[in-house]
Amino acid sequence: MRFRAKIVDVACLNHFSRVINTIAKLARTCTLRLTVSKLYFILSDKVANGGVGMWCELNQGNFFDEFQMEGVAAEHNEIYLELMPENLSRALKTAQNAKAVKMKLTNKHCPCLRVAVELPSLSSSSRIVTHDIPVAVIPRRLWSDFREPSVPDFDVSIYLPALKTMKSVVERMRNLSNSIMIEANLSGEMNLKIETDLVCVTTHFKDLGNPSWALEDGCQSSQDRDPESMAEARIDIRKLQQLLAGQQVNPTKALCNIVSKRIVHFILLHEDVSLQYFIPAL
Amino acid sequence: MPLTAQPAGSAEPYVLSASLDNARHLSSLLRAVHFQDHATCFATDNGLRVTVEDAKCIQANAFIQAEIFQEFAVQEQTVTFRINLSVLLDCLTIFGTSSLPGTSTALKMCYRGYGYPLMLFLEEGGVVTVCKINTEEPEDLLDFDFCNTKVVNKIILQSEGLREAFVELDLTSEVVQITMSPDKPYFRLSTFGNAGSAHLDYSKDSDLMEVFHCNQTQTNRYKISLLKPSAKALSLSCKVSIRTDAQGFLSLQYMIRNEDGQICFVEYYCCPDENITE
């Protein structure tokens, strides 16, 4: 099992750091899956996570100048590691003016992801700051726990409103209530609602647009549904706030799929990163 | 016109109905008095007054005149209700607190009367938020009986002169002592903290001093913890009037100019600390 990678390009480094910062805000511990072409940050929807699931996918070619990976075995050319993304985020903070960042999987005393940041210096030899991030190797027999979640059989799919507005509203609502109701319909309308003994607040978004999903059999799933009818789910407001607070850059596409009373599935797409986040209904 | 044509309540169901193009005109003023969760609101033809009290020693009032509103209609002489001010502020600032130039939140406020919730309709960029906040029985408020005719000493200062002083007040001191006198030191703020005493003097001839009417030397102490919240009102204001009466009650009146240049007032009344030695 080997892994070595290097980022030299400043823009790629900043971009990668931003992605890691976002992941760090969403999960305390998560699984990093390495394949020949991609990196995945995965949080499986165990009860321990409050039922929240996360699947973030990056094309390694868009970030790394060098990338070498040899998995556990030839037919299973992948590596699964458990780590705390906050550690990686902190290591990358020192890399803001770096000439290069190298990553390597090592096992000196215990398995670590070694992040070596080469910083500019006045002398001819570079300064190198090394961070050893403890990781746990996840054995192959557990890999099935980390399969890509399938898109749920949703009732409504809708584009999200401007994340900045959604974030302000959810932040305020968080002061007032622990749970929030998200409802949306196929006419591009979404409402965020909180209701307590003291206060009820509802924010109405319109003209959001509904993405069309082509199903395998070629038909669109939602043709029979009354376009005005709302699909709704009550979720933990902190989880929603974490998702919105973690977004450092506006995604190219942001949408959510609602399975009434069961789960809300968020999809945020950037040019080279896709993030899916599942929040179960309370 | 037959009486039955109108519904039982009257054509206008709201005893208070107000509109504001920029909700910040209201929210920033309310923040200047937000040192307790609860506030009492009084609406009359003149406008809105929001009162917050603590420990029976301090009272703050924010006044937003009817002219500030684009629409302000009150169906009774005084409409009064008690409300959770923290919740009200969270609702008024639902779209965020940063003031981006050109964007503002429009507000419509409606209240049906005793027993009904306060309704807020806020709109920004085509997004509408509706809030329904439960109101409570108004409680008796302190009547400070600060008699405007019995003012012993009065000064009006430009706020920028006082802001830094207030921020730097030694919080290890339990009290702030205010001395006002026709003789030196004229106007002095003193604290007595762990590191020692600190005195800050303002001369009556200072550029910052707009009005100086001190007839008698007075020294009074006030609990710093009670006055600290007034720093917010001070930071928003351009001028502050400081007055004391014969019993040492303190009246601070802050003149605040909003984003549109309109003037509003916030005042704080504070009882002197009972352990005065002088």
Q: Let me know whether A6 and A141 are in one domain.
A: yes
Q: Which of A126, A92, A114 lies closest to A15 in space, CA to CA?
A: A92
Mutate to test the interface with B, among A164, A169, A172 (most CBs of B within 10 A): A172
Q: Do A277 and A269 contact (CB within 8 A), yes or no? A: no
pLDDT tens digits along A33-56 = 999 999 999 998 777 777 899 999
- String of b and e for A219-257 (b: at least 16 CB within 10 Å)? eeebeeeeeeebbbbbbbbebbbbbbebbeeebeebbbb
Model confidence at B7, pLDDT cuts 50, 70, 90, reads very low
A168 touching chain B per CB within 8 A: yes
pLDDT at A222 over 70: no
CB contact under 8 A, A202 and B86: no
Q: Please give the C-alpha separations between residue A56 and each of A24, A68, B87, in angstroms, as whole numbers.
A: 12, 20, 36
Q: Which of A147, A138, A100 lies closest to A1 in space, CA to CA?
A: A138
Residue type, B265: F
Domain boundary among A105, A121, A145: A145
In a domain, A14, yes or no: yes
CATH label of the domain that carries residue A226: 3.70.10.10
Write down the pLDDT at residue A68: 94
Distance from CA of A156 to the nearest CA of B (A): 20
A161 touching chain B per CB within 8 A: yes
pLDDT tens digits along A94-134 = 888 888 999 999 998 899 999 999 998 888 788 899 999 99
For chain B, list the domains and their CATH numbers. 16-136 (3.70.10.10), 146-270 (3.70.10.10)
Residues of A in Cβ contact (< 8 Å) with B90: 172-173, 175-176
pLDDT tens digits along B23-72 = 999 999 999 999 999 999 999 999 999 999 987 889 999 999 999 999 99
Write down the pLDDT at residue B12: 58
Q: Let me know whether A99 and A166 are in one domain.
A: no
Residues of B in Cβ contact (< 8 Å) with A204: 127-130
In a domain, A117, yes or no: yes
Which of A81-85, A204-208, A249-253 shows the lowest per-residue confidence on average (mean pLDDT)?
A249-253
Q: Let me know whether A40 and A19 are in one domain.
A: yes
Beta carbons within 8 Å of A166's beta carbon, 6+ residues apart: A160, A192, A244
**In chain A, which residue's Cα lies nearest the Cα of B89?**
A172
Q: Let me know whether A11 and A128 are in one domain.
A: yes
Q: What angle do CA B155, B159, B165 make, to 5 degrees?
A: 95
Write down the pLDDT at residue A215: 57
Distance from CA of A133 to the nearest CA of B (A): 37
Write down the pLDDT at residue B11: 53
Q: Let me know whether A267 and A214 are in one domain.
A: yes
**In chain A, which residue's Cα lies nearest the Cα of B93?**
A172
Interval B172-184 mean pLDDT:
92
pLDDT at B277 over 80: no
A209 touching chain B per CB within 8 A: no
Write down the pLDDT at residue B149: 67
Q: Do A113 and A104 contact (CB within 8 A), yes or no? A: yes
Q: Let me know whether A184 and A101 are in one domain.
A: no
Q: Let me know whether A11 and A95 are in one domain.
A: yes
CA dihedral A26, A241, A145, A90 (to 10 degrees): 0
A206 touching chain B per CB within 8 A: yes
In a domain, A151, yes or no: no
CB contact under 8 A, B87 and A197: no
- Across chain A, mean pLDDT equals 91
Model confidence at B99, pLDDT cuts 50, 70, 90, reads low
B99 touching chain A per CB within 8 A: no
Q: Do B5 and B87 contact (CB within 8 A), yes or no? A: no
In a domain, A178, yes or no: yes
Q: Let me know whether A101 and A184 are in one domain.
A: no
pLDDT at B6 over 90: no
Mutate to test the interface with B, among A167, A176, A196, A208 (most CBs of B within 10 A): A176
Q: Which two tokens stand for residue A145?
A: 């726990």
Q: Let me know whether A101 and A227 are in one domain.
A: no
Q: Let me know whether A76 and A170 are in one domain.
A: no
Q: Let me know whether A33 and A71 are in one domain.
A: yes
ipTM over 0.90: no
B94 touching chain A per CB within 8 A: yes
Give all strands (DSSP E) within chain A, no chain letters: 2-7, 30-34, 38-43, 53-59, 66-70, 79-83, 100-106, 112-119, 127-134, 136-137, 156-159, 179-184, 190-195, 199-205, 231-236, 253-259, 263-269, 273-280
Out of B84, B94, B132, closest to residue A200 by CB? B132
In a domain, A30, yes or no: yes
CA dihedral A230, A233, A237, A243 (to 10 degrees): -80
In a domain, A204, yes or no: yes
Write down the pLDDT at residue B8: 44
pTM attached to this predicted model: 0.89
pLDDT at A204 over 90: yes
Q: Let me know whether A188 and A140 are in one domain.
A: no
CB contact under 8 A, A203 and B93: no
Residue A137's CB is within 10 A of a number of other CB atoms, namely 14
CA distance B238 to B256: 6
Q: Which two tokens stand for residue B164?
A: 């830094």
Q: Which of B85, B97, B249, B222 lies closest to B166 in space, CA to CA?
A: B222
In a domain, A106, yes or no: yes
Out of A197, A200, A205, closest to residue B127 by CB? A205
Interval B204-227 mean pLDDT:
91
Domain boundary among A145, A176, A202: A145
Residue of A217 and B185 predicted with greater confidence:
B185
Domain boundary among A118, A145, A172: A145
Q: Which of B104, B130, B106 lies closest to B118 in space, CA to CA?
A: B130
A217 touching chain B per CB within 8 A: no
Interval A126-147 mean pLDDT:
92
In a domain, A150, yes or no: no
Write down the pLDDT at residue B2: 37
CB contact under 8 A, A172 and B133: no
CA distance B215 to B204: 13
Interval B120-128 mean pLDDT:
95
Write down the pLDDT at residue B145: 67
Residues of A in Cβ contact (< 8 Å) with B126: 206-207
Write down the pLDDT at residue A163: 93
* Overall domain count for chain A: 2
Distance from CA of B80 to the nearest CA of A (A): 18
Phi, psi for A2 (deg, rounded to 5): -135, 150
Domain that holds residue A175: 156-280
Write down the pLDDT at residue B180: 93
**In chain B, which residue's Cα lies nearest the Cα of A206?**
B127
